């Protein structure tokens, strides 16, 4: 196999070999940050925070930051076309709606005697 | 008549994207709702359950598996970047590393599953409840009281879990007649395990699917690099988007199932 093929240029400028070389450093940094985030999540678990809601909030906050890094840099959402953003806005609307309904449904649990 | 599939490389004027990219994002949108529905089920099941178990999964192993999946995400994006820079051999190495990471992830997950299928909760007729590992006639997995009776096992070895008082408990010889219930930590044991196996099983299927796609692109599909390198690079990008989504789902699954 030869290595002399021309690279794709669908995002002219952003996807040039020179630009990609710069991106590689960012990818490695993001990868390191993700591994560090995993360490932090586990570290927070062993710290034993007394409040359960705070523990959940800390773990989900770290997970959200990690997921945002993956989406923004590895999935290139930081510099994507408008159509993808529109599509994701619809997805976010329905996803948040689903979670909203879930939280709403939680209010319907009967209060058992002694609780 | 031209039978070539349009917009596999060149962006379509209306969207500014090649078609496969629109397709994969539409697919990922549907995946968000699929996993979203399961996460929603998890929340409702957990809130509605009085006693949610903790500490039943191996955190160091789960952490290592998370690191393996994150590493595979890095290798995928590096494979794509290498192709963009026309470094084909480097890209192949990164792809091979991705396949290796996915195999490792699945292997570790299988080990974790097996650990649950050989771990039991036994309820004795006197009301005592113990957890640990059982062995009857060389069988260690999926044992039940009905199975023991069918195998005509009168007594079987049981290794209780270590307690706070004793790091190593002595193995016991339990009589089958004095057992009320014997159940391994399968999906049927507790709602927690039902949702754990459903979520991680579905995620595992995604890892499996992604691994086969990368294997295809690494071995038979690699010929495209000679005939249409830009299209091949786009294929890696599309498979990569799927892979990053799989990684993203695990980023939430790990704390939710292992730590909280």
Residue A5 has pLDDT above 50, yes or no: no
User: Cβ contacts (< 8 Å) between B22 and chain A: which residues?
Assistant: 83-84, 87
| Distance between CA atoms of residues B36 and B33, nearest Å | 5
Band of pLDDT at residue B170, cut at 50, 70 and 90:
confident
In the numeric block, which tokens belong to residue A79? Answer: 């510099």
Q: What is the CA radius of gyration of chain A?
A: 21
Q: At what angle do helices B229-254 and B191-218 cross, to 10 degrees?
A: 160
CA distance A99 to B80: 34
- In DSSP terms, which residues pair with B181 in a beta bridge? B123
Task: Compute φ and ψ for B120, nearest 5 degrees.
Answer: -120, 155
- Whether the complex's predicted ipTM is more than 0.95 is answered with no
Residue B15, both tokens = 């969207």
pLDDT of residue A20: 87
- Per-residue pLDDT of B111-146, as tens digits, reads 999 999 999 999 999 999 999 999 999 999 999 999
**pTM (2 d.p.):** 0.90
Tens digits of residue pLDDT in A46-71: 887 778 788 888 989 999 999 999 99
| Residue ranges of domains in chain B | 19-44+56-116+189-259, 118-184
B167 — pLDDT class (breaks 50, 70, 90): low
Identify the CATH homologous superfamily for domain B19-44+56-116+189-259.
Cytochrome c oxidase, subunit III, four-helix bundle (1.20.120.80)
pLDDT digits (tens, 9 = 90+) for B58-82: 999 999 999 999 999 999 999 999 9
Which site among A33, A53, A70 would you substitute to test the B interface, given the most B Cβ atoms closer than 10 Å to its Cβ?
Answer: A70
DSSP letters for B6-17: TTSSSPPTTTSS
Q: Is B231 exposed, middle or buried (0-12, 13-18, 19+ CB in 10 A)?
A: middle
Instruction: Write phi, then psi, for A109 (nearest 5 degrees).
Output: -65, 130
In terms of residues, how long is chain B? 260
Put simply, the answer to whether A1 touches B89 (Cβ < 8 Å) is: yes
d(CA A1, CA B93): 14
Q: Which two tokens stand for residue A91?
A: 């997805």
> Which residue in B67, B76, B234 is closest to A38 by CB distance?
B67
């Amino acid at each position: 196999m030869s290595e002399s093929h021309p690279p794709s240029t669908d995002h002219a400028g952003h996807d040039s070999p020179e630009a990609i070389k710069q991106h590689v450093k960012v990818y490695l940094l993001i990868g390191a940050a993700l591994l560090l985030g995993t360490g932090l999540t586990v570290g927070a678990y062993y710290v034993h925070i007394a409040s359960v809601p705070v523990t959940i909030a800390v773990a989900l906050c770290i997970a959200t930051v990690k997921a945002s890094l993956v989406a923004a840099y590895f999935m290139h959402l930081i510099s994507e076309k408008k159509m993808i953003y529109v599509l994701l806005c619809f997805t976010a609307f329905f996803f948040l709606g689903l979670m909203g309904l879930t939280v709403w449904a939680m209010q319907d649990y009967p209060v058992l005697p002694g609780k | 008549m031209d039978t070539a599939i349009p917009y596999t490389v060149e962006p379509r004027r209306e969207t500014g994207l090649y078609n496969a990219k629109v397709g994969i994002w539409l697919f990922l949108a549907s995946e968000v709702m699929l996993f979203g529905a399961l996460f929603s089920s998890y929340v409702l099941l957990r809130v509605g359950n009085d006693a949610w178990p903790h500490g039943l999964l191996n955190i160091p192993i789960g952490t290592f598996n998370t690191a393996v999946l994150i590493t595979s995400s890095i290798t995928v994006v590096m494979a794509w970047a290498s192709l963009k820079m026309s470094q084909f051999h480097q890209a192949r190495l990164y792809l091979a590393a991705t396949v290796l990471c996915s195999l490792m992830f699945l292997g570790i997950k299988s080990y974790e599953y097996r650990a649950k299928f050989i771990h039991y909760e036994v309820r004795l007729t006197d009301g005592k409840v113990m957890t640990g590992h059982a062995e009857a006639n060389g069988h260690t997995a999926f044992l039940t009281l009905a199975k023991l009776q069918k195998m005509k096992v009168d007594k079987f070895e049981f290794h209780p879990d270590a307690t706070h008082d004793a790091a190593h408990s002595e193995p016991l010889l339990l009589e089958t007649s004095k057992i009320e219930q014997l159940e391994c930590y399968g999906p049927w044991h507790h709602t927690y395990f039902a949702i754990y196996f459903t979520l991680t099983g579905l995620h595992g299927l995604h890892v499996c699917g992604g691994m086969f796609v990368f294997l295809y692109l690494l071995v038979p599909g690699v010929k495209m690099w000679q005939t249409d390198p830009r299209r091949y690079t786009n294929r890696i990008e599309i498979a990569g988007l799927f892979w990053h989504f799989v990684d993203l789902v695990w980023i939430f699954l790990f704390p939710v199932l292992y730590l909280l």
